[in-house]
Structures are given as C-alpha cells and as structure tokens.
Chains A and B, each alone.
Chain A
Amino acid sequence: MKAETAARTRPATRSDKNLLWRDIIKNRWLYIMLIPGMLYFVIFKYIPMYGITMAFQDYTPYKGILGSDWVGFKHFQRFFGEPQFWTLFRNTFLLAIYNIVFFFPLPIVLALMMNEVRRERFKRFVQTLVYVPHFVSWVVVVGVFYMLFTTEGGAINELLYNLTGQKVAFLLEPGWFRTMIVGQSIWKEVGWGTIIFLAALSGVDTQLYEAARIDGANRWRQTWHITLPAIRSTIVILLILRLGNFLDTGFEQIFLMLTPTNRDVGEVFDTYVYTKGLTQAQYSYSAAVGLFKSVVGLALVLGANTMAKKFGEEGVY
C-alpha cells in the first residue's frame, strides 16, 4: 500500500527501478503464490491457443506443430465449401432460436408466479422441487429421457399406447430431435433460471404495490406496471447474453443425444469438431472448424456486450 503511494508521488528517477525490485522482493511470497495458477493458465489455456496454428497446417502428431507443413487457408476453404457447413449452420441456428423462443420466457413466467405466492414456506417448497434437475448431470437427464420416452417399455410411450394404440419413436425420429433437446433444457434449467429474477423481484419496494392498490390497480395491472418494469433490465441483459452465446447450443447434451439416425438435424459445430478431429483424426481440419466457431463466438459476445452497454446496462466484460 505504502510503496504504491510512494511510487506515485515521487518524480520518475533512476531509483524507481530499485524501487520496483524492492517491491518485488517485498512481495515475493505473493508472486510465488501466483506461480501454480499462472502455470495452469499458460499450459492449459494459452499453449492450446498457440496450438490453433495447426489449423493452418497439415498437422501430423509425428511431425508436431513446429515441423508440420503450412497450408494457409486450405482447411477453411474446404469447410466453407462442404454442404455439411450449411447443415451445421442450420442446426445450430435452429436450436438457438428454439431455445430463445420456447425456453427463455419460461423462467420469467415461473418467477412471476412464485412472486405472487405470499406463503414463504410454500414458495420454498416449490423452489426445492424445481431446482433439483439443475444439479444432476446431462448424462442423467438424457438417460432419464431415454427411459421415459423409449418405445421399449418407456412410461410415456406406454401411456400413449394405452390412449391411442400407437407408439411414437421420440428418440429415433429426427423430427422429434429439437423438441427433445428443448424439453430437456426446460426440465433441467427453468426452475434454476428463476433465481436471478426472484432476486431482482425481492428488491421491489412493497410500498409501490400498496400505493397501486389504493389507486385501484388490480393484480394484473400491478404485475404489468410494477413487477415487470422491476425485472426488465434483468430480462434484457440475459437475453443479450443469450444472443452472445448463440453458438453454444449445449455441447454435452447434444453429444449425448446424437445417434446415427438424427445426425442430420442434430450435428452442430462442436460435435462436428469432435467427430472429425478425435474420431476421424482430421486434426487440422477440425481445429480450423473450432477456430471458426471460436472467432464467431468471440465476435458475438463482444457485440452483445456493446449492446448491453448501449441499453444502459453495465456489461459483463
């Protein structure tokens, strides 16, 4: 603390260099503590970033990054030329849109419903129930869906069969793929998604409601004029963030749901990188696809952040 003020007030002289060294020696333990973390970020974050150069090479593990031949944008050209590119683009885009349209509004609605409950114990009870699926893994969520929806004795299909005499191949039929994905997201995350809105709602001054009531506003009008404006900025920022993460369609979930029959509707950029890179050993090509995704993703996040700031929100970065 003292050293900092001293450094600031004194005019720049040669002794500043000594001061820097004195500072470093004085805080040597702090710097030593930084070492493991710095090593972690360098090894597992920054070296892979350097490894991206393999996207511009014909990388073979035998020759390594330093020895492989440079090929420029060959892999990118191949990727943009493939019909697969448009399939991936469409699948990613549609899943993201489905999520925004069908998933995004639900936590808001649920939070508003919970906000109307005055009995704290009942509210906490419902919260306890709806938070549960958030904590289980995607493997369990997808597994549970498989168990429920399979045509081989799954409860939903048994029920359907008793009602209509027919079974529906929810898991094999490509047409059901997106519905299943969004359904799983809804089950897993809607309850959890209410937290942030409930927190915003808990900050609303109850006097506002009293005043509105005296003015004759009924419940709907109170919701419309007091409650919704209170969470509007939260809604806006979450929506913008969601747009920033547009390409992140939930890799683990989709990876688990992919089967040979639904690959045409289910394959997205991330799963394509995995299939091409790690199962077919086209390392450079898949690294190029991954880089394309990362760059577009970065642009979207930064764009979303700028947008958030324009809306008068703080922004995230």
Chain B
Amino acid sequence: MQQDKTWGNRIFDFVNHGLLLLIGIVTVIPFIYILAVSFTSPHEVAKGGFILFPKEFSLAAYRYIFSTDTLIRSLGVSVYITVIGTFINLLFTSLMAYPLSRRYLRGRQPILLGVLFTMLFSGGMIPTYFVVKSLHLTDTLWSLMLPTAISAFNLIVLKNFFQAIPDELEDAAKIDGCNDVSVLFRIVLPLSMPAMATFSLFYAVAHWNSFFSAVIYINDSEKWPVQVWLREIVILAQSRIGDTSIEETEIQPLTIRMAVIVFSTIPIMLVYPFLQKHFAKGVMLGSVKG
C-alpha cells in the first residue's frame, strides 16, 4: 500500500527496513560462521574470536572427514533412505489417495475416518517399537522407511487435490479402455505434478532430517544415517566434556564438528530454492479443507 511521504513515514520505513535486514542477517549468520570455521585452520580457531571469513584457509577438517569412512557411509545411508523412502511415500500415498478421492466408492467414509483418527490418537512410542521389532525390521533400514510410509495429513491433502480433478477425464479414459490403475498413473498423476513435487519435498526433507527413528530402531552404527552421527559427534561429545571417564581424544576438534554440520546440511541448502517456493505453497495446500 502506498503511504504519504511524510517524515514520520520515511523514518518508519527506514527503521523497519533496517530491522528486517538485521533479523534476516542474524538468522543466517550462525550458518555462515559454521561454514567459515569449518574452512579455517585449527590454529586460527584456537586463537578464538568470531570468524566470518577464514584468514588461514584450510581443508584439514574435510580431509579428515573423507579419511574416515564412518561419515561417508552415513551420508550414503541418508541418501538411500531419502531416495527409497520418498519413493515409497509417494507410491503408497498416491495409491491410497486416489481411491479415496472417488466419491462413489463404497466404504470411503469409514476408511477416511480411520485415517483421521490416527492423527488424533496413537499407540505411542513403546507399542510401535514392539510392532517394528516383531516384524524383524529393527537394525534394518526398512525400520526408517516403512513405519512412516504414509503421512495421514499428506494423504488427506493429496486426496483433496485429486478430488478437484474433473471426473470427465476419468470417464473419457475409461471409455478408451483404461482401468483405474492406469487412470491414476497416466491421467491423474501427470496432472498433479506440482502437488507431487511439493509432497516429494515434504517427504524427502523429513527423511533427511529424521534421526529419532534411527536412535530407537538401529543399534548397528554402520547403518546410522548422518543425523545420528552428527548428534554423536557434535552434541553427545560436547555434553561429555568434563566427564573424566571419556578420553579427551574422543572429542573432535571444533573445525571437524563444524564440517560435519556443513556436510549434513548441504543437500538441504542445494534444494533450498525449491523448498522455499513449494513449501510455502504446501502450507496453503494444507489449509484447503474438503
């Protein structure tokens, strides 16, 4: 909205712009700091101070990371569960959302209610743990993908999205000899590409960032995703400082810890432009009721 060009308004605009800029910069400064320190020589870090640009540039931390295979392996695990997990999410969610979007389907309402109820009430951590365990999924990567195969919320939103696609398209495809499965894969999904892109991002970010399932279900440290290692190296090591039972050498230098943070965040930052755009849309998608 256009405001009068009074002095009061000008001062207000100046202060407002300044504050917003400050808030924005303060928000991202910690990331820049961590990125900078990870590229700084341990010698300069030891001198202390707030480093936003390394004076003594060094790749030592990254060289160390690449020399150990634990971290590289955990990155591989994370990539694996993100790719396969997201594929499972999309397949399961769209397969279920499509029939539920057909208003004429008998039994649709009770199933929808059953789905909604899981958003309100859950068995909780312990009973779920025993289900996963009795299926012999613990210590396998399936335990990180199958128990979260469908998000009830995403399912409902996608169902509403499918519902908005005109029935005439379905009728026409059926006259041409398509069955319901091919209607979904040849007509409905291609028409829903923007929504599917948004959902793949939702699911993929959730997979990449999840760590607690792995803490519960996976004991074998060779199968840990990168977030679990990150916790191990950055947070647990830190809180053990002062604990005399821990050898000093088990605590990694600051630069290496920061390099681990950078590594586990890079994929997110690479897709950030898409994330920002589609997620903002996704927030609004969710607010459409049906």
Contact = CB atoms under 8 A, between A and B. Distances in A.
Question: Interface of chain B, helix or strand or loop or mixed?
Answer: helix
Contacts of A132: 27-28, 31, 272
Contacts of B102: 27, 30
Interface stretch (A82-90, A93-101, A173-181, A251-259): A251-259
Contacts of B212: 251-252, 255
Interface string A109-133: 0100110111000100111111111
A291 interface: yes
B106 A148 contact: no
Interface string A121-165: 010011111111111111110111011101011010011000000
A172 to B, nearest CB: 8
Contacts of A213: 3-4
A187 B27 contact: yes
Nearest to A34: B99
A200 to B, nearest CB: 10
In this complex, the interface size class of chain B, counting residues with CB under 8 Å from chain A, is 35 or more
Given A38-B96, A196-B283, A199-B284, A142 B125 contact: no
A129 B31 CA distance: 11
A31 B48 contact: no
A49 interface: yes
Contact of A273 (B124, B265, B284): B124
A23 B106 contact: yes
A205 B111 CA distance: 41
| Leading 8 A-B pairs by shortest Cβ distance | A48-B123, A37-B96, A51-B127, A290-B124, A137-B209, A129-B24, A29-B180, A48-B127
29 contacts: A4-B103, A33-B184, A34-B95, A37-B95, A37-B155, A40-B92, A40-B146, A41-B114, A41-B115, A41-B118, A43-B131, A44-B146, A45-B122, A47-B127, A61-B133, A126-B23, A127-B276, A128-B276, A132-B28, A134-B279, A136-B265, A144-B31, A147-B258, A155-B50, A199-B284, A222-B1, A287-B126, A293-B124, A302-B120
Interface of A: 1, 3-4, 20, 23-24, 27, 29-34, 36-38, 40-41, 43-52, 54, 61, 110, 113-114, 116-118, 122, 125-140, 142-144, 146-148, 150, 152-153, 155, 158-159, 171-172, 187, 191, 195-196, 199, 206, 209-210, 213, 218-219, 222, 251-252, 255-256, 259-260, 270, 273-274, 277-278, 283, 286-287, 290-291, 293-294, 298, 301-302, 314, 317
